[in-house]
A and B are shown apart, each in its own frame.
Chain A
């Protein structure tokens, strides 16, 4: 009986002071985490005139909104895929360089520059007389309309998100035990087999959190669509912004937001909830 009694005594000796720190923190959480989500759901049940209705939800399932949702997902998918395609090799090669932390810093640095400034730069770069067209002219392709196309939208988005793909992949590659690669080589695997069977599976968590870090924001972009795609591409984010700040139809905006939250939750479950916090 003695160990138990001792444990009990020890337990009593621990300061029994209540966790007063919880008070301000929980207050913050109730006001800015719970209330906003509840308010979004609440607002989605009212139409423009302020009458209680489910019509917003009925509206959401009409072809107009369905098409928008699918195209939003399609663009987000493309942006994520290209980010991975460019980012994975870059992260891999980074781990092979000398001074890799410095190089990583240089890769991450542009992500600290205000997003709008970078987007604005592309208006100049991709403009009719911009640098991109000058290059196209000299190599003989001739002037093209680059701004306000799908290409420019996806290019700029990938540009913006690429550091957020490289970083988690880089971390995953760094955590990998290098002797596993040696072992794979010793056992006669080709570099491609080593990559496919050893390296990629071991870094899958980094890839997942990278995809998560790109896909969710890509669903909700709105300033890039406005500035670079000339409002031609409508994502869920653009639609929400439009409903809240332009047409003032908060109910419909909130309904789209509810579905965006649902989509987000599903993606988080699919890619595992860990990851985004470890950056």
Chain B
């Protein structure tokens, strides 16, 4: 019994080690005073200083963050509207039909989304750059928000709305004072997902970004193709720590939300969908 127990633990540890090895490996060599990812020569902050001295990189970082924030705010608004629209449909059949159309962009491979948006923007005459990247990030984040918000709407009892209306609330009051507060945790989850989707996206951005505009992942791709540079390691370490903070924060929020809506146990967090 005890030997079996150990083997299973060993297996899990192995999976964990392999999952984290590349990330730790990157971080470890970000402190290498040598030039390569092998043969640690000595400790240095040099690469971090280089990251913070690289104005171009900092501008790219700003671009990435600005795009992520704008696109997630706008897609959250659109997504909430979409979720309410679906929820309001009388027939379940129509709801399901809209929902499956909603999921098209979630299940589509990024290459398809990227290529088709590239055709779309060219046809509409939208210049490739900030605008096209922002619009595509909004477009692929909307369905995620819908999916995060819709279950919360379904949890809401219709009598609650009737009560509010009986008490004389206008349509607007109902939305602002009853519906939105009720689905708040879903909106937060949707916003967070949209944010990470946008920060993470490479393939779609790669297609619709023009010559002048770059986000972090596109930049890393082009630098990685040129070869190894330890300033990328330093940058990745910083991003890793930032992601860690973001996820832990989200985990806390979602756990708190979970305790509030007691009764729905199980699935702690609705994790994200793969995004290549």
Binding site for B on A (CB under 8 A): 15, 17, 19, 21-22, 24-26, 28-29, 31-33, 35-37, 39-40, 43, 86, 89-90, 93-94, 96-97, 101, 103-125, 127, 129-131, 134, 159-164, 167, 171, 174-175, 212-214, 216-217, 219-223, 226-227, 236-237, 240-241, 244-245, 250, 253-254, 257, 260-261, 264, 268, 273, 276-279
A-B contact sample (20 more), CB < 8 A, given A171-B267, A223-B202, A276-B103: A15-B171, A24-B82, A31-B120, A32-B105, A113-B23, A117-B236, A121-B25, A127-B38, A129-B36, A130-B38, A160-B276, A161-B274, A174-B267, A213-B274, A219-B109, A223-B276, A260-B112, A276-B273, A279-B270, A279-B272
Residues on B with C-beta less than 8 A from A104 are 268
A199 to chain B, nearest CB (A): 15
Q: Render B35-54 as a binary contact track against A, CB cut-off 8 A, 1 for contact.
A: 01111000000000000000
Question: A107 CA to B13 CA in the complex, in Å?
Answer: 11
A273 to chain B, nearest CB (A): 7
B169 to chain A, nearest CB (A): 11
Are A114 and B107 neighbours in the complex by a CB distance under 8 Å?
Answer: no
Question: A253 CA to B117 CA in the complex, in Å?
Answer: 13
Partner of A24, one of B78, B104, B117, B118: B78
Of the A-B pairs whose beta carbons lie under 8 Å apart in the complex, a sample of 17, sorted by A's number, is A24-B82, A32-B105, A32-B120, A32-B140, A36-B117, A109-B247, A111-B274, A113-B240, A119-B224, A162-B19, A220-B111, A237-B111, A244-B114, A245-B207, A260-B111, A261-B112, A264-B109
CB closest chain-A residue, reference B267: A171
Are A257 and B19 neighbours in the complex by a CB distance under 8 Å?
Answer: no
Residues on B with C-beta less than 8 A from A24 are 78, 81-82
Question: A21 CA to B149 CA in the complex, in Å?
Answer: 14
Are A110 and B23 neighbours in the complex by a CB distance under 8 Å?
Answer: yes
Q: Given the interface contacts A39-B119, A109-B244, A216-B107, does A21 sit within 8 Å of B81 by beta carbon?
A: yes
A99 to chain B, nearest CB (A): 11
Are A118 and B271 neighbours in the complex by a CB distance under 8 Å?
Answer: no
Are A25 and B85 neighbours in the complex by a CB distance under 8 Å?
Answer: yes
Q: Given the interface contacts A105-B251, A237-B111, A273-B100, does A254 sit within 8 Å of B29 by beta carbon?
A: no
Q: Given the interface contacts A28-B139, A116-B221, does A39 sit within 8 Å of B22 by beta carbon?
A: no
Partner of B202, one of A17, A22, A115, A217: A115
